[in-house]
Structure 1
Amino acid sequence: MPSIKERLQNFLNGDNFVSRLLGKAEEKTGIKKYYLASGSICSLGLYLIFGYGASLVCNLIGFVYPAYVSVKAIESPDKKDDTIWLTYWVVYGVFSVVEFFSDIFLFWFPFYYLGKCCFLLWCMAPFSWNGSQILYDRFIRPFFLKHHRTVDSVVSDLGGQALNTAESVTRGAFKGAVTQSFENQKFK
């Protein structure tokens, strides 16, 4: 199994957006792609530990690239990539809900945003045993299969109640508008 350094060098020598971008930077600065990438990764890591706005940067990392490749997946004829990114978004959504309630305590930890960023990168990693696939298969899917009928009935009941409420509000608003119109004509 190749080391992290070898995998990074293979990635940087491949034909991809990052490699082309770093190639242009290498031409202009004379600094090798590997050092530019390593320096950028270290700088990002330090910023996520000490920087102001680390939450925003971390959320952008967890959202921008996955959103971009999700749109590409939607536009491609292959449906396998759709499933991969739908799985990521399900895990991202569950993580966001859990994080909402635990963020008050967790953001005080010095390496929280660095850890969160690493977690999100693991969830979107381009291999079959990435975080989203593992978390979905081990936790989310079994929970869903166990409780989906109950959730479906609650959603159906809420949908019916929402429809009834909307009808009542619409009738009341229409009745009020008709009454107001009638009173306006009566006084003219």
Structure 2
Amino acid sequence: MIHVTMFSFFSKLKERVDTFLNEKNFVTDFLNKIEEKTGIKKRLLVVGAASATGLYLLVGYGASLICNLIGFVYPAYYSIKAIESPNKDDDTQWLTYWVVYGFFGVGEFFSDIFLSWFPFYYLCKCLFLLWCMAPVPWNGSRVLYKRLVRPLFLKHEATVDNMVCDLSGKVITAAETVTREVLQTLVRNRTIHPAEPAAKELPGPSNELKVD
């Protein structure tokens, strides 16, 4: 069963990579130029880049940045394509990913200082994000949303709605109060410090007294 699942995963992944490589975008244009100069196929270039990235995540400096870019750039690209396409199924897919990505980011904020010291942490994090965006039925974001996020949200939905409404009302009230105080201060300053009258003209030669 596990072998069948892994075979399905890699088949879907290969299909998605082939589809991406056949599209026209700045990445494929760049790969085409390298292929023309070196004679190395685009697919091999992608496999080599992925292998080098995996090794770098193990021992390289700045692995956190690379891992976050992997978890953001590819999903952001396909999210924009989903918005521009008439099909709404992909919208749901990537919305689900971003919800899970947000929950993961909040949890990581409190645990990153400890987990970042674990061996292979960033490689494991990268694999987790790839699982969350994988084009398979057992997609990570879909599984986590159905089993964790959705039940938690439905359980506390009413409480969260009340908190959001109260917070929105307080923010609007505070904004109105600040705006009113600023306007009153401007009016008060204009009343206390009126514009200075025009300077009186000094007497000129024509206005001097004539001495007989």
Q: Give the aligned length.
A: 187
State the match for 1:96 in structure 2.
Answer: 105
- Secondary structure of 1:185 counterpart: coil
Per-residue deviation, 1:26: 4.3
Of 109, 124, 134, which aligns to 1:115?
124
> In structure 1, what is the Cα distance between the partners aligned to 2:23 and 2:89?
25
Identity %: 57
Per-residue deviation, 1:38: 3.5
> In structure 2, what is the Cα distance between the partners aligned to 1:158 and 1:126?
38
Asked which structure has the greater RCO (Cα within 8 Å, sep 6+), the reply is 2
Say whether the 8 Å CA contact 1:49–1:114 is kept in structure 2. yes
> In structure 1, what is the Cα distance between the partners aligned to 2:119 and 2:99?
27
- Secondary structure of 1:129 counterpart: coil
Residue type of the partner of 1:182?
Answer: T
- Greater shift after overlay, 70-79 or 32-41? 32-41
- 1:132 paired with 2:104, answer no
Residue type of the partner of 2:152?
Answer: F
Q: Which has the higher helix share?
A: 1
Give TM-score scaled by structure 1 length.
Answer: 0.87
> In structure 1, what is the Cα distance between the partners aligned to 2:140 and 2:187?
58
Per-residue deviation, 1:39: 2.6
> In structure 2, what is the Cα distance between the partners aligned to 1:102 and 1:146?
25
- 1:54 paired with 2:58, answer no
- Secondary structure of 2:193 counterpart: helix
Structure 1 residues 19-68: Cα deviation after superposition (integer angstroms, max 9, x where no partner): 98456544532445554343322211111111111111110100011111
Give TM-score scaled by structure 2 length.
Answer: 0.78
Give the gaps of 5 or more residues in structure 2: 198-212
Structure ID, larger Rg: 2
Structure 1 residues 129-159: Cα deviation after superposition (integer angstroms, max 9, x where no partner): 1100000000000000000100000111111
Give the gaps of 5 or more residues in structure 1: none
Per-residue deviation, 1:169: 1.0
